[in-house]
């Protein structure tokens, strides 16, 4: 029998050990994005919307007659007084119509004078029995018709005079020109908008509110208005009007906030922010992202959040909910102090699972969200 040397056997054993698979390693716990609640995150933020400063009364001005625009006397931003001329039409046709109406009135006056003379003559002849009563009645009827034609011609003359005045567009009230929609040389129709005039005495801010918040912004609700150009200024406003129907494209409701104390710092067309204080009960809550909260079936004020314990395991926690907003959910009660709440991926969690909590704003935030 042939025996292999001991060194050769040891070398073979070492070779077999080197080719074997490594021992399995425990995978690291999955990472989840969390938010640690502290004093800075305790109060729910007020609702703030961006809007545009508008005049309460904005008029689209146009000529009462059609014609060719020959001159525009103001530009955008011009401040005009009541009765100031704004634009002019070619008035040649209306002047001719006025002259024709005046000539028709003069002819009617001549016909009336003739009818009066003939009626007076017929009355004298009938008194002497030279003509019959029917002739006198005919002259009386002709006189009445001549009087009516004169009234008609004078009325048409007044209409023609008004038409001549309509070739001049005047400001119905003092205001600021905010838009110009026609230029000289353009042929405009009757009623077509040429200029837009805003009255700056009453100003308001136009904002657009999501459907879920429109019901809470009833007319009369107080608001704080801050112009972007002057962050240090603050005005007290109140909701004046809420559009009953949502915009077909944006699905938002237009809300107009009146600002009685507006001054030059709140200029027309400027941008401004409108803040509404939270309703009682919501102001003391905590605002969490929408993915962090699961609403319990059949209940609008009860939900579930997932928190990470000291041992890095997750567990569900029942909480009391407030308002559901477009920027999150207000949690009124049920969250302990310094709780680490999972804010993304809660649908993947199982109670008791060990996780790796990653705070919002951490350098690996993008990888966790992915």
Rounded to the nearest 10°, the torsion over CA 176, 181, 182, 187 is -130
Check if the beta carbon of residue 123 is closer than 8 Å to that of residue 131: no
Could you tell me the CA-to-CA distances from 333 to 24, 153, 280 in Å, in that order? 45, 82, 14
Check if the beta carbon of residue 362 is closer than 8 Å to that of residue 37: no
Q: Which residue has the tokens 């029917």?
A: 134
pLDDT at 368: 46
pLDDT at 345: 84
What are the structural domains of the chain? Answer: 31-45+282-369 (2.40.420.20), 48-55+200-276 (2.40.30.170), 58-89+173-197 (2.40.50.100), 92-165 (1.10.287)
pLDDT at 358: 87
pTM: 0.57
Tell me the per-residue pLDDT of 345-356, one tens digit each, with 9 for 90 and over: 888 888 888 988
Q: What are phi and psi of 135, to 5 degrees?
A: -65, -40
Tell me the per-residue pLDDT of 80-122, one tens digit each, with 9 for 90 and over: 999 999 999 998 988 898 899 999 999 999 999 999 999 999 8
Tell me the per-residue pLDDT of 48-66, one tens digit each, with 9 for 90 and over: 889 999 999 999 999 999 9
pLDDT at 65: 92
Question: What's the chain's length in residues?
Answer: 370
211 compared with 172, residue with greater pLDDT: 172
Residue 229 binned pLDDT confidence (cut-offs 50, 70, 90): confident
């Amino acid at each position: 029998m042939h025996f292999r040397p001991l060194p050769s056997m040891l070398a073979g054993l070492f070779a077999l050990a080197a080719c074997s698979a490594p021992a399995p390693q425990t995978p690291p716990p999955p990472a989840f994005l969390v938010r640690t609640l502290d004093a800075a995150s305790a109060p729910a933020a007020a609702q703030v919307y961006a809007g545009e400063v508008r005049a309460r009364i904005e008029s689209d001005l146009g000529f009462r007659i059609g014609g060719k625009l020959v001159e525009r006397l103001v530009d955008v931003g011009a401040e005009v007084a009541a009765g100031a001329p704004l634009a002019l039409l070619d008035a040649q046709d209306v002047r001719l119509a006025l002259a024709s109406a005046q000539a028709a009135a003069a002819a009617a006056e001549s016909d009336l004078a003739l009818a009066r003379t003939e009626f007076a003559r017929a009355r004298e002849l009938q008194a002497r029995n030279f003509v019959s009563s029917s002739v006198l009645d005919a002259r009386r009827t002709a006189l009445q018709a001549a009087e009516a034609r004169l009234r008609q011609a004078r009325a048409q003359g007044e209409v023609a005079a008004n038409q001549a005045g309509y070739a001049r567009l005047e400001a119905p009230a003092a205001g600021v020109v905010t838009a110009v929609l026609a230029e000289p040389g353009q042929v405009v129709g009757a009623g077509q908008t040429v200029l837009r005039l805003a009255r700056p005495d009453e100003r308001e801010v136009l904002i657009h509110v999501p459907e879920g918040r429109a019901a809470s912004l009833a007319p009369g609700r107080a608001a704080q208005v801050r112009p972007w150009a002057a962050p240090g200024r603050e005005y007290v406003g109140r909701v004046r009007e809420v559009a009953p129907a949502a915009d077909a494209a944006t699905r938002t409701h237009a809300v107009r906030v009146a600002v009685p104390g507006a001054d030059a710092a709140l200029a027309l067309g400027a941008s401004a922010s409108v803040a509404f204080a939270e309703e009682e009960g919501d102001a003391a809550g905590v605002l969490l992202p929408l993915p962090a909260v699961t609403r319990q079936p059949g209940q609008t004020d009860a939900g579930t959040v997932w928190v990470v314990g000291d041992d890095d395991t997750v567990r569900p926690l029942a909480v009391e909910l407030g308002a559901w907003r477009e920027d999150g959910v207000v949690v009124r009660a049920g969250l302990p102090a310094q709780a680490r709440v999972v804010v993304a991926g809660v649908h993947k969690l199982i109670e008791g699972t060990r996780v790796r909590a990653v705070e919002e704003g951490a350098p690996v935030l993008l990888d966790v969200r992915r």
